Amino acid sequence: MTAACVKRAFKYRFYPSDVQAAELVRTFGCVRKVYNLALAARTQAWQRRERVTYGQTSALLTAWKKTEELAFLNEVSSVPLQQTLRHLQSAFTHFFNQRAHYPRFKSRKTSRRSAEYTTSGFRLSGGRLTLAKMSEPLDLVWSRPLPAGARPSTVTVWQDSAGRWFVSLRCDDPTVTPLAATGQVVGVDVGLDHLLTLSTGEKIANPRHERRDRTRLAKAQRVLAKKARGEGANRARARRRVAKVHARIADRRRDHLHQLTTRLVRENQTLVIEDLTVRSMVRNRNPARAISDAAWAELRSMLEYKAGWYGRDVIAVDRFFPSSKLCSACGRLAASLPLHVRTWTCGCGTTHDRDVNAAKNLLAAGLAASVCGAGVRGPNRSC
């Protein structure tokens, strides 16, 4: 029995013509309108203790198209309109299963401008992608080829806040297969002075991408702050300049994390990390900026899904485990260890680098947790 292919999304940038851009913007607006109308209908039903299904909202969409007020919905492809109803259904499913908050309405200014097409809404032939209701193919920049024989199941088109256009092709990738097993295990401690410290003693520098562009970002934000709020073209241009700086920072950060996580997953069979609550940590204003720039949550997400791709294991140790204060040599727990203390000496005479010691303790705790069951909280917990 062969293993199922991994579903991957291949992202490409493209440059639409004026006609294509206008058509896509109109589609984004219709997608947002249908989503908000369906959400309002379902909310009213929810207040009456009734549930509305996807099929019922699809019937509502058909009725809306027949009205004079919403006749413009017929001008765009029906595929992304149906897809946004499916997305709303998924949002309600997550809400009912207590995995997410109640769905919110989409905003014209702040919500992502996107549209999703299924196989009936696009045509990919000879490296040319044509969307429904468009006569000309999109001018894609094929920065990397699709897997041989790949047939995309969905195509998502969006425009980011910096004004750039992207398309994402989701398809099976048969080239992603488990790597050869290796006995290498490593503990990974995240930080700010060093992005990662491994139990092997290796320290990986923190690039601090946001700090490199902080002056440029501050200047762009000052210019934006002086523009009067409204729909003026000057404010729109100033906002786009700020967005471009943020996009530059995010692109560099994502590229670095991809290279780093791919290397760690390829080299190690098991990776042990700490189960940090980044959302709570950034509520502290002092380190919030640096923590957000380090992107610990994105780092963990990449490690986990790549480990699933390549047959590796990621173990998360309980966040309350005192990895820094615990001596990795004798197991003695230090009374206190302020953040500014980077090296310390245990009563047994062992001098520790704070981060390397934490990585070693995470490795030991993670391997113990894989045998005992759940994560560990303290040094005295046993099987």
- Which residues form the catalytic set? 189, 274, 355
CB 168 within 8 A of CB 11: yes
Distance CA 80, CA 99 (A): 25
- In terms of Cα–Cα distance, which of 304, 298, 192, 202 is closest to 253? 298
- In terms of Cα–Cα distance, which of 205, 202, 201 is closest to 191? 205
- Residue type at 199 in one-letter notation: S
CB 178 within 8 A of CB 188: no
As separate numbers, helices (DSSP H) first and strands (DSSP E) second, the chain gives 10, 14
Cα 104 to Cα 68, 85, 101, 144, 243: the distances in Å are: 27, 14, 9, 36, 23
Backbone angles phi, psi at 314, to 5 degrees: -120, 125
Cα 92 to Cα 52, 59, 101, 102: the distances in Å are: 10, 18, 9, 7
CB 184 within 8 A of CB 169: no
Bridging pattern class, strands 270-274 and 185-190 = parallel
Tell me how crowded residue 193 is: count the other CB atoms within 10 A of its CB: 12
